[in-house]
Every structure is written in structure tokens, then in C-alpha cells.
Amino acid sequence: MVLVALAAIATFAYRRGWHRVVLAHRTAAALVGVPTVVVVVAAGWYLGSPLFTSKTVDEALPFDLAAAEPTSTVTPPTTSTATPAPTDTPTAGGAPAGTSGAPEVAAPAPTPSPTATATAIAAREPFAVVFSVAQLQDAG
């Protein structure tokens, strides 16, 4: 297809007499033509080479993902939801001894660190690009 287009352009140029202009001004034609040919050949190779040169690589990764995963695990703290047994002895505030009078509220479970979460996702999806919230905030 490209060769047919080049042949059509050459035929058109010859019929119009462009070759006489080029022969009359050889230095100017060389100063313009040589860099143009270099750029066109380089661009053609860059754009056309994937059509006939391809290589498929099927190799193991240079590192083991399981070994790269940190060994720290996040365990939520154990909290007691049971209230202490009230005693019959009142204190100065009117509440039985051993209680503060307010209901006990369980502490919320800690959130896992962004690094541990990103590592866990990367272990499941080895080709996924994972950013932690801290990395995105630092970049922004």
C-alpha cells in the first residue's frame, strides 16, 4: 500500500517536471531532502516495526510476592461489653461503687494501615497498580 502511494507520488512529480527543479538546485534539494528522508525513515521504522517484529516474554518475576508481603497482622483489641456487677454500696455521686454511672461504650475496631491493604491487594492482583491514600495525598 505504501509502495503504491510512493509510486503514484513519483509519477505525479515526474509528469509535473519536479525532477528538473531538483537537478537545477542540487544543494538546496540535498539540504532539504536528506533530513526529510531521515525523519520519514525513522518515523516509518518506529511506527511500522511492531507489525513485523514482536516478542512475547513469559518469565517468572524476579521476586516472590509472598515473601515481599509484610508479616504484620492487624488484630482488633478485645473489649469487654459486659458491665461490672453493681454493688450495694453507694458512692458520693449516687452510683454504686465500681461504676461511673455512664454506660460503657465499646471502642471502634482499628482500621488497617494503607500499606498493609495495598500489599494485600497486590498479592491478589499482581499486575494492579495500587496507591495508598497517604501516597495520593503526598503526591497531590
Task: Indicate the domain borders of the chain.
Answer: 2-52, 63-73+111-140
Cβ burial of 126 (10 Å; 0-12, 13-18, 19+) is exposed
Measured over the CA atoms of residue 119, residue 121, residue 126 and residue 128, the dihedral's sign is negative
Instruction: Report how far apart the first and last C-alpha atoms of the chain are (Å, whole number).
Output: 48
Helix (H, G, I), strand (E, B) or coil at 32: helix
Tell me the pLDDT band of 56, cut-offs 50, 70 and 90.
confident
Q: What is the DSSP letter of 125?
A: -
- For residue 55 the three cell numbers come to 516478542
pLDDT digits (tens, 9 = 90+) for 57-100: 788 888 777 666 665 556 666 665 666 666 666 555 555 555 55
Residue 90's DSSP bridge partners are 96
Residue with C-alpha cell 501516597? 135
| DSSP element (H, E) containing 9 | helix 2-16
For residue range 97-120, list pLDDT tens digits in order.
555 556 667 777 777 666 666 666
DSSP letter assigned to residue 102: S
Q: For 6-50, write each residue's pLDDT tens digit.
A: 899 999 999 999 999 999 999 999 999 999 999 999 999 999 888
